[in-house]
Amino acid sequence: MRAIQVEEYVKGPQDLTVTDLPDLTPSPDTYVIAIHAAATNFFDLLQIRGKYQHQPPLPWIAGAEFAGVVLSIPSSKKTTRFKKGDRVFGSSQGGYAMQVCANEESLMPVPPGWGFLEAAGLMVTAPTGYAALVLEARVRKGEWVLVHAAAGGVGLAAVQIAKAFGATVIATVGSNRKLEVAKEFGADYTIDYNKEGWTEEVKKLTPNGRGVDVVFDPVGMVNMSLKCTAWGGRIVIVGFAAGNIEKVAMNRVLLRNISLLGLHWGSYTKEAPELVGKVWEGLFLLIKEEKFKGTVYTDREFRGLGTVSRALGMLERRETWGKAVVSVPQVAESKL
């Protein structure tokens, strides 16, 4: 099979190469999936440089999010959730390849009517947005929600989820194209957070200038968000895409009775496994009701494993929106 194998840490995605490897030999408790689409993530950029908190022993295959078809089922199980030929999406180390091994807990069925490209980007962003807004912030109909980096994969998921629960959404982004995208996915108002005074602009949009009820922050903008959060509001911290860990002005938090909430979706499997199924149940319902759609970046096509480096490079330079997803033909690509 073809795959992007990391034999030594690289300076950047431009150094990644596609190579021929033997087909996978699964352990008795794993599935083998033929990958038809692979999604890119910021943590891939850290991992290929050896800077991520989870580093497999060298050599290893890069990538983690994918969608495809079940080739084989676990030999150790009498009954399995999926059968050969089923269309699935999931997350497992080795997503930038033609095949990947995955356990049952890391796989989900591709929603009816969805393609592999749309499904490949669901496993990380969608449940992050749902758990943050529904479980942690407990967003309610009629509330005002501020979504930062709203044109990113997790941001577009949050915009759609907040709207589905009856909230008014203010989206902050960093370019004119991303303003358009956030609007297309349902944001009621859009603001460029590169402009001075954007927090005042947020407040002016809300009733009586009181500020927003909920802030969804995957960037690291808590201190600025405190200036436009209503008394008794909630700020959910889901990441630090800006690269800095903030020192928060806790006096403002106290004086305005604001709740700071952290959300690390990956820890739910260990700490609250009973909630994982409920999150996916809620998401699949939104998909069935057509209140949630795929967030695939469509301004440019990435076809073949040889385009992974280009997709990751554009992701790193903030040139994409939504999820940059690479289609993976199940034949040897003739030109890489």
Whole-number pLDDT of residue 166: 98
Residue type, 296: V
Question: Please, what is the average pLDDT of the chain?
Answer: 95
Query: How does pLDDT run across 54-93, given as a tens digit for each residue?
Result: 899 999 999 999 999 999 999 998 899 999 999 999 999 9
CA distance 144 to 128: 19
Q: Which residues of 236-264 are buried (b: 16+ CB within 10 A; e: fewer)?
A: bbbbebeeeeeeeeeeebeeeebeebebe
Whole-number pLDDT of residue 334: 36
Cα separation values, 257 from 98, 145, 226, 250, Å = 51, 17, 11, 10
∠ CA 60-41-5, nearest 5°, is 20
* pTM higher than the cut 0.75: yes
CA distance 70 to 89: 10
Whole-number pLDDT of residue 115: 97
Q: Which residues of 37-73 are buried (b: 16+ CB within 10 A; e: fewer)?
A: bbbbbbebbebbbeeeeeeeeeebbbbbbbbbbbbeb
